[in-house]
Amino acid sequence: MKNLILDQITDFLGEEINHHSPVSGGCIAQTEVLKTNKGNIFFLKQGYSNAMFTCEANGLHEIAKAGCIKTPKVILAKDDFLLLKWIEKGSKTIDFFKLFGQQFAQMHQKTQKQFGFFEHNFIGATPQVNTFEDNWANFYFTHRLLFQYKLAEQKGYVTPSLQCAFQKLEKIYPSILLGSEEKPALLHGDLWGGNYMVDKKGEPVLIDPAVYYGHREADLAMTKLFGGFSPDFYQAYQQTNPLIDGWKYRENIYLLYHVLNHMNLFGNSYYAQCMQLINFYL
């Protein structure tokens, strides 16, 4: 760990750090556990010098304000590091996914007037544009699908076949979302199996958000990108905050954003899945 970061943390806490060691914590940041002379334990993320960590902190704050699902407490956020309270891991209870689904549905009941967020942030390491819009269909196409498509063009992943398919999708896109209009809901933005924890009480804790206010179907679609959660999660969600009819049909349009992003981050092994998702509607 850089001595400068260690010194900043020590000065802020007023405690001496007498132990620090690497821990697993994702594929983007470098992560460590810190222990102080007063017995306090913290989780440190570092390795970037842009606004990624302050954006993550603001996202955690926004979820915490909903008051219905746990997040790590933000201790100190700077451009080059993020210090969080350590979450002691536990085991899932038999009702874990039922509780998770209920709490996630309650989080989506926190709304605001416009789609977007007060700042741009990141989805993984990719910039995520959150310019406020009154219309969800416009917001999602412009700042999610088209943004990722143009990035894929820059990276050389767009073939003539993908270009043709995307142009066809653009023409019919408004009809896909027609009738699904809702108030802008607070979204985690990047919820999959690696972005939640189980605390020592056996309760869910949301981590690594890409927060904005959007359509809650987009959040739920992302949970299914790598196989999905327990059926108890989705059943409890529906019982708490039922979805509008047609949500299953719209899942692929919301998955497309994340698959395009994965292609831009990790390469064209995701190309075939992008084409499959688009062709579902053509």
Active site residues: 190
Rg (CA), the chain: 20
Closest CA to 251 of 162, 180, 187: 180
**In the structure encoding, which two tokens stand for residue 3, read together?**
């001595």
Q: How far apart are CA 257 and CA 277, in angstroms?
A: 10
Residue carrying structure tokens 């969600």: 237
197 vs 205: CA distance, rounded Å: 5
Cα 122 → chain centroid: 9
CB 114 within 8 A of CB 138: no
SS3 call for 20? strand
Structure tokens at 233: 């999660």
Bridge partner list, 17: 36
Residue 277's contacts (CB-CB under 8 Å, 6 or more residues apart) are 252, 253, 255, 256, 259
Q: Are strands 121-123 and 81-85 parallel, antiparallel or unpaired?
A: unpaired
| 8 Å CB contact between 31 and 22 | yes
Spatial separation of the C-alpha atoms in residues 96 and 202, rounded to whole Å:
7
